Structure 1
């Protein structure tokens, strides 16, 4: 009798321990997952999304489809996901522009702090300011001198109105007291093509997009937009060290989901995303792409997003930037 009681107690304990494991395994939808990207295929966002999605799919046993919805600096994709299914079957590779800049610049049909919810940070990287050879400048100092000597004739491309590349240019306008003309595109690939075609003077580009052309001597790098030189671009000075202390305009992507997605599902996706972003092989590949993995808790990313929103909101107000 005593042995039977002990066995029954052990079975009950074992059953209690097994429940959370079974529950956790059922938190992700057992159907294809959509990962929405707000930019065209071939750019930095798309490249990182495909790498991470491949590993996520492998780890979770789910089929993960990349859905590119370019336009309006990524806002179209964010609006789409804000109205998406709340069962964990749709994620968005959110970006700095639509999440923390655009709401200060224009009317958007979503609230990034209510209609979208954090899953985890993704990757971050500085932009690199590049010019075509015909611009006739080789340093940031020479570029600023050119912009001052030819007001409103020097322009800069961006991947969209309200994108990080747009704000980097506006911040340089403010800090250097120049008036470069902003030329927005529907993604980094199109902006780069017009720069190579000498239809625009400069572009605050993602490093993976720009550096192959720099190596081919088709573009000249002037400065990067982080506070420190990234390890993969040690020879290129920062804007901050080129005469504008404190200048920082990072680009970043992060994982978010439609608002109202249940916390257990968000927690599970956070666990899976962090697992991928700390995988040595994935970290190596992202670093080769010029990106720094930024895995976070859901709470850490929410705080980071608020800080970025406050920063860019203040700059937009000071510059009186309007669409």
Structure 2
């Protein structure tokens, strides 16, 4: 007859072994073992939200865990960015961000409550957000050279509307002002859509808006795009010249990138880079992102994205100092 004590010992040993499985899995690199939160520091329905949602479904299939989108808008995207930056570096919090709350914020906002270069781990620049120079349709200028000529003939400052101080469209306008020497006056709005409405009725002279924000007014025919602000022409809008073709040295990079909180292991960062790079180039994902006014452009490595952030911060810092810009 089998000893009952032997059976009890075997059951205890088996339960102990089962209890050790999660720890063993983690020790062997079993991440992820639970849902991953993706912080989007902008409202639902915007460009960044589009990127996050386009990537989340195929990423869930690859990682075997759900990805939960957490929209946390506010304070020029700094609110959600701070939440992500101060989260544990365990691989279960991601951040989709733009220059406004990273490289620009570091240059523009004194006393920033987080350091984008120290508190965030760059994974990849995933998409370029296309900004366009937009003008009222009834105006006579149809390209950048004609606009500059027209502007010099006016006996007043040229007004440009933006979605707020420190936004990409604001800094694009300020860079254009610096490079051309035009007398330009910044008119900030609480959102790009409001600026487009006033541009359409000629209350403004020009805007440096995202393609997504300008899209409805462009489709209505009330405004006209005359150039892209990207350093070179965009594949999405190949017929539009880059501003740099007329204004040498002008080039503004506005992007959507993915980050992790500091302390996240390199193996998790590297796995995410590999997966995001492959997912972003899926035809269906590229198409969805393109409809949001963005072009998929993935960094060659996390290190390349990190270098880009450092270089951009130096550019924005110089611009902020030259123009004595202040945050809202």
TM-score interval w.r.t. the shorter chain? 0.7 to 0.9
Which of residues 169, 172, 179 is equivalent to 1:175? Answer: 179
Alpha-carbon distance in 2 for matches of 1:310, 1:20: 43
Aligned-partner SS, 1:113: helix
**Structure 2, unaligned stretches of length 5 or more?**
1-23
Aligned residue in 2 for 1:250: 253
Deviations 1:33-67 (A, max 9, x none): 22122222332222222211232223223222222
Alpha-carbon distance in 2 for matches of 1:175, 1:140: 13
Alignment of 1:23 onto 2:65: no
Aligned residue in 2 for 1:240: 244
Alignment of 1:76 onto 2:79: yes
Alignment of 1:213 onto 2:217: yes
Alignment of 1:126 onto 2:130: yes
Instruction: Compute the displacement of 1:102 (Å).
Output: 1.8
The 1:172/1:97 distance shift into structure 2, 3 A limit, reads: same
Aligned residue in 1 for 2:55: 52
The 1:21/1:98 distance shift into structure 2, 3 A limit, reads: closer
Count residues in correspondence: 302
Larger Rg: 2
Alpha-carbon distance in 2 for matches of 1:173, 1:161: 15
Instruction: Compute the displacement of 1:175 (Å).
Output: 0.9
Aligned residue in 2 for 1:6: none
Alignment of 1:320 onto 2:303: no
Alpha-carbon distance in 1 for matches of 2:134, 2:61: 37
Instruction: Compute the displacement of 1:213 (Å).
Output: 2.9
**Structure 1, unaligned stretches of length 5 or more?**
1-18
Alpha-carbon distance in 2 for matches of 1:140, 1:176: 11
Instruction: Compute the displacement of 1:220 (Å).
Output: 0.9
Alignment of 1:301 onto 2:305: yes
Query: 2:47–2:293: 8 Å Cα contact kept in structure 1?
Result: no
| TM-score between the two structures when normalised by the length of structure 1 | 0.82
Query: 2:124–2:257: 8 Å Cα contact kept in structure 1?
Result: yes
The 1:185/1:82 distance shift into structure 2, 3 A limit, reads: farther
Instruction: Compute the displacement of 1:286 (Å).
Output: 2.8
Which of residues 290, 294, 307 is equivalent to 1:291? Answer: 294
Which of residues 268, 291, 299 is equivalent to 1:265? Answer: 268
Instruction: Compute the displacement of 1:270 (Å).
Output: 2.0
Which of residues 105, 108, 128 is equivalent to 1:105? Answer: 108
RMSD: 2.7
Instruction: Compute the displacement of 1:245 (Å).
Output: 1.4
Instruction: Compute the displacement of 1:174 (Å).
Output: 0.4
Instruction: Compute the displacement of 1:145 (Å).
Output: 4.1
